[in-house]
Every structure is written in structure tokens, then in C-alpha cells.
Amino acid sequence: MSAEIVELPDEYRGDTDMVAVRHEEDALCWLWAYPSLLPWRAPIVWLYTPVVGKARWPGDLWGVDRHGDLLIVECKQCRRADDPFKDFLAFHYDDRDELKAAHWERKFRKHLKAELAFPDMISERPPNRTDGILPRSNKRSHIRRWPALVEQIEVRIRSTKYETVALSYLGERAKADNPRPYYVALMIVSDAGRPLLSEGAICSKVELERMVGTEHVVVVAIQADRLPQNRARIIARRV
């Protein structure tokens, strides 16, 4: 289990013990600010947050760990009973170009350059310049909701170490001959009484495990527990 303490934005300040997270992008912002929040066996560098195009870019967050293993994270709300695995079923085959280190070295450099071309990461981009690596759906309104996290993310991605480490991890992936990726369901828990996965999601999980192996299919539950002084403890645990 991993945990971090964050300051809550105004719309999440209330009386309930567990924060009712309204937007999946909020959890993505937590992971961008704290990569170690995802319970994993090795350090992770996040590479890219797709906006559209689930056929070629399923998942909400792509990253690579120190050993060169690729992680594709799909974020869903438990209360909506959505299936986090169904897009992976249609996407996966081992020799996909999108899973290779060489592809990601080019893509990451391109999108990072676009991200850093602006003086900050929260301002709205012009209609024809919306590229980048961070969550940018709905004109970046989700990431603006977390100003304390924004500062932390900004410092990280603007450091030369960030790009150097990301490319180093991708180099490890190339040396390992692009091993099979890990598909991660990040399930936001806002109601402890709700099941983590729906029946449909469990069926998709079993089918995906047949395709890629049980160890390559991961479920992580994440929640925000309210603390005094408008703060919350973000907790993530492997299931």
C-alpha cells in the first residue's frame, strides 16, 4: 500500500470521511504528482496521458519502470461499474509498434517538447496547439483543480533529470527486447460498500489474463480519506 497527503480543492471540501471523487482525471493528477503512489516493484516514470483514440492508445496513463516494463493504466470509477479491461482486449498483441521502446523514444520526445513549449502547464492552449504529456481533456480544467500538485508536477517534468531518466528506462526496455506490458486497472473508490469490479469487468479480466498472463493484469484501488484542515490522505493498494 502507498499513501500521500494532499490539500483538497474547494469542490471536495465537505463532511464525509471518504472523498467522493467526481473525475477520473483527478486520480491521474495524483499519480503524475506522486509516481510512487502506484504500488509497484520498481520506480516509474510517466510518459504520456492519451486524450482520444482508444483503438491505438487505450488507457489513461502510460509509463515505464526502471526495468523497462511498460505500464498502461486505465482509470475507472467503482460507482459507475465500468469495465477497465475491455479496451485492452481489443488492443493487445505482442508485436505492436506502440509497445516498443523505439516508438516511445520518438513519441515521448515530441510530446514533452510540446508540453514544455509553454511557460506553465495549466493555461489553456490554442485550438491547434493542444499537444503535451499531461492530462489535458476539457482544456486542462482538471489539473488546474489541484494547484499544490501542479507545482510539484511542473518542477519534475521541467527538470533535465526527468527526460534523462525516462529515456534511460526506455533504453532498458529496448535491451530487454520490449517485454509484454502490464495492464493496470486503477479503480477509484468513493463508496466502501460498492464492489471494486463489476461482473463484466471480472469476465474481461479473466479473458485478458488468458491473453497476457495473470501477472500482467493488475488491479489497484485508490481512494481519498478526509483529514483535518481540508486535507486528504490518498491511499492506493494492490488488490
- The single-letter DSSP state of residue 138 is G
- pTM for the whole thing? 0.94
| Per-position pLDDT tens, the chain of length 239 | 889 999 998 888 776 789 989 889 999 999 999 999 999 999 999 999 987 655 567 899 999 999 999 999 999 998 777 899 999 999 999 999 999 999 999 999 999 999 998 888 877 777 777 688 988 765 677 788 888 898 899 999 999 999 999 999 999 999 999 999 999 999 999 888 889 999 999 999 999 999 999 999 999 999 999 999 989 999 999 99
Kindly give the pairing relationship between strand 182-188 and strand 70-77: parallel
- At CB < 8 A and 24+ separation, what contacts does 202-207 make? 204/83, 204/85, 204/86, 204/88, 204/89, 205/85, 207/85, 207/89
H helix runs in the chain, sequence order = 24-33, 86-91, 101-116, 141-144, 147-158, 160-175, 199-212
The answer to whether the CB of 191 falls within 8 A of the CB of 78 is: yes
Distance between CA atoms of residues 34 and 187, nearest Å: 17
Distance CA 33, CA 154 (A): 9
